[in-house]
């Protein structure tokens, strides 16, 4: 009778399966460990710092140019004849400005100087008397005070101004003529709005009224040494400007 022994074969097969399972498990654990180590070894990039733009401010010096139109009204009075010649005219105004602003919260205070040339010339004839009045240039010094809404500025201005004027009276009957020129001063008021379209550049539009004092001159066109004429002249302007701010 023959006896077949199978326990050894079974033991060998079980040993082989156990070894294979152990090897696969080791490989899986090794791969997982390596992946975890790789994740831990790569540092994460830092979060970018938040950037906040500095608030806009009107504080600082500025220089610029302006161009626009003006209206002048004049009255020439002759003391000998009692004649009064009123005339008005409009013309070109253009020049430049220099100033400084200081902002406190929403309020802005400043000072400004302007210089402009003009083409404000007028002439009128009444009877035998002809009068002309011209403004060659004007300059102003004024305080500015306003309210700032970020890069918009709404402002008023007040101060004084001077204009170089000339006037002529002519007697059309005999051609006698007397002329006078003078740089006389007066008071100034104005208002405007300014918009800063970049950190350094701004544009504006404003209205100004310059009330000039009366000036007097001797006239001999009707009576030698017994005649005087006086000139009253007021100027209004509307100007568009461009400023570079430091």
Task: State residue 230's pLDDT score.
Answer: 81
How far, in Å, are 55, 78, 127, 130 from residue 171 at the CA level? 65, 11, 9, 7
> How many of the other CB atoms lie within 10 Å of CB of 97?
21
Q: Give per-residue pLDDT as tens, 95-112.
A: 999 999 999 999 999 999
> Token pair 């097969």 is at which residue?
13
Q: Give per-residue pLDDT as tens, 53-71.
A: 678 999 999 999 999 999 9
Average pLDDT over residues 28-36: 55
* 177, part of any domain: yes
* DSSP annotation string for 69-131: EEEEEEEEEETTT--EEEEEEEEEEEEEEEEEEEEETTEEEEEEEEEEEEEEEEEEEETTEEE
* 8, part of any domain: no
Average pLDDT over residues 208-220: 85
Q: Nearest-CA neighbor of 116 among 159, 67, 157, 71?
A: 67
Give the pairing type, strands 152-171 and 84-104.
unpaired
Higher per-residue confidence, 80 vs 29:
80
* 131, part of any domain: yes
Contacts of 126 (CB under 8 A, 6+ apart): 83, 85
- CATH number, domain of 97, equals 2.40.160.20
Task: State residue 53's pLDDT score.
Answer: 64
Average pLDDT over residues 22-35: 55
Residue 73 has pLDDT above 60, yes or no: yes
Alpha carbon 2 to chain centroid distance? 118
Domain count, the chain: 1
CB 110 within 8 A of CB 99: yes
Report how far residue 93's alpha carbon sits from residue 115's, in angstroms, rounded to the nearest whole number: 10
* 137, part of any domain: yes
* 4, part of any domain: no
Contacts of 182 (CB under 8 A, 6+ apart): 164, 165, 166, 215, 217
Which of 32-36, 151-155, 179-183 comes out lowest in average pLDDT?
Answer: 32-36
Provide the domain limits for residue 128: 65-245
* 57, part of any domain: no
pLDDT above 90 as % of the chain: 50
Average pLDDT over residues 121-141: 89
* 7, part of any domain: no
**Which SS3 state, helix, strand or coil, does residue 28 take?**
helix
* 39, part of any domain: no
pTM equals: 0.75
């Amino acid at each position: 009778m023959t006896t077949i022994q199978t326990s050894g074969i079974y033991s060998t097969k079980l040993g082989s399966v156990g070894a294979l399972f152990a090897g696969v498990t080791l490989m899986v654990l090794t791969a997982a460990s390596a992946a975890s180590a790789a994740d831990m070894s790569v540092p994460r990039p830092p979060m970018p710092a938040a950037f906040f733009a500095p608030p806009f401010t009107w504080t600082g010096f500025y220089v610029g140019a302006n161009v626009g139109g003006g209206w002048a009204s004049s009255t020439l009075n002759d003391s000998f004849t009692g004649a009064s010649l009123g005339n008005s005219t409009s013309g070109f105004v253009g020049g430049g400005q220099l100033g400084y602003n200081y902002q406190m919260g929403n309020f802005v205070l400043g000072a400004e100087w302007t210089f402009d040339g003009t083409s404000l010339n007028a002439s009128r004839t009444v009877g035998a008397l002809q009068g002309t009045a011209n403004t060659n240039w004007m300059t102003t010094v004024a305080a500015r005070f306003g309210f700032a809404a970020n890069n918009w500025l709404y402002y008023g201005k007040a101060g004084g101004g001077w204009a170089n004027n000339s006037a002529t009276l002519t007697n059309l009957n005999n051609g006698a003529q007397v002329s006078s020129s003078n740089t006389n001063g007066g008071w100034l008021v104005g208002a405007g709005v300014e918009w800063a379209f970049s950190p350094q550049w701004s544009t504006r539009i404003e209205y100004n009224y310059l009330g000039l004092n009366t000036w007097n001159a001797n006239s001999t066109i009707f009576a030698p040494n017994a005649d005087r004429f006086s000139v009253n002249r007021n100027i209004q302007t509307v100007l568009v400007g461009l400023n570079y701010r430091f």
